[in-house]
Amino acid sequence: MAYVLALCAALSSACAGVLQRIGVESAPEGATMRLSLLTHALRRKVWLAGFALLLTTFVLQAMALRFGDLAVVQPVMTTELLFLIIILATHFHRQLGWREWIGAAAIVAGLAGFLAMAAPSTGRGLPSGRDWWVVGGITVVAAAALVVGGQRGPRWWRAAALGAAAASLFGLNAAIVKSTTTLITEGWSHVFDHWEPYGLAVVGATGFFLLQSSLHAGPIASSRATMVIVNPLVAVAIGATIFNESLRGGLFVLGEVAGLAVMCAGCVVLVRSPLVAGAGSVGAGELLGVLEGPIGA
């Protein structure tokens, strides 16, 4: 069930990424990291459609995390790139080349290899407050450093840095989601007595803002590359440390690292392909005719 839900979430996220990139690409260049970027996006029907799919992604991901571990669900979410190239190739009649096939094969092989070698075991549902302070502090500081570093430099670097910052927070957010779903199973009456629902809103909203800024800051290839690579790595690390999602040790560690390395390499190959790199330049009307322009246009 966790695998199926995670795959559905990956498909929804791929669709959302394309629509939201189209929605923010017409914003003024100086709107990155400003609230004016969101006000511009909210006037675009295509962006709102992407936002609806992003909410769908969140629900599907939360359900997947209820049934599965962070070390399983988040790596599976990297299949978003596979769905992205299928969407672009199908709807826009683009030809898949060797780069797309090699990248897709590497993602599938790396993911399968990691899961087979790691054989993640179910951990505890509610980490201690001290664990959250340590993990949350490290993640937030790392994300802040990436945001600061992403204020200067070429557009590809700014998109990559902001994408990595968003991915770090989304990895932390996934951990908070998993903890929240555990609280829900114990009864709704006590859920809001804990900090998790409020932390979920703050971390999720901040990650969402950084995601939109990364999509606007530069090529979608740069932002999606760091998003799909950093997010599962952060989630696996959090799952192994504070959720006690034990991975197999010994020589299996070499296989786990190799699997993740192959998966990440496949992601880099895919997002650098002309098909994915050109996703931001696709006209909105090609994908959803009635969602082409601003609301009221």
Residue 126 carries which DSSP code?
A: -
CA separation, residue 229 to residues 75, 166, 257 (Å): 9, 12, 13
| CA neighbor of 85 nearest in space, from 75, 77, 95 | 95
CA distance between the termini of the chain: 42
**Structure pTM?**
0.76
pLDDT (tens digit per residue) in 144-192 = 999 998 888 888 788 888 989 999 999 999 889 888 888 887 777 777 8
What one-character-per-residue DSSP string does 224-292 give? HHHHHHHHHHHHHHHHHHTS------TTHHHHHHHHHHHHHHHHHHHHTSHHHHTGGGS-HHHH-GGGS
pLDDT per residue rounded down to tens, the chain (297 residues)? 788 898 999 889 888 877 877 777 777 776 666 777 778 778 888 888 888 998 899 889 888 888 878 878 888 888 887 887 787 777 767 677 777 788 888 888 888 888 788 777 666 667 888 889 999 999 999 999 999 988 888 887 888 889 899 999 999 998 898 888 888 877 777 778 888 889 989 998 999 889 888 877 877 767 777 887 888 888 888 888 888 777 777 778 888 888 888 888 887 777 777 766 555 454 444 444 433 444 444
Task: Return phi, psi of residue 261, to 5°.
Answer: -65, -45
Query: Structural domain boundaries of the chain?
Result: 2-291
Contacts of 252 (CB under 8 A, 6+ apart): 117, 118, 119
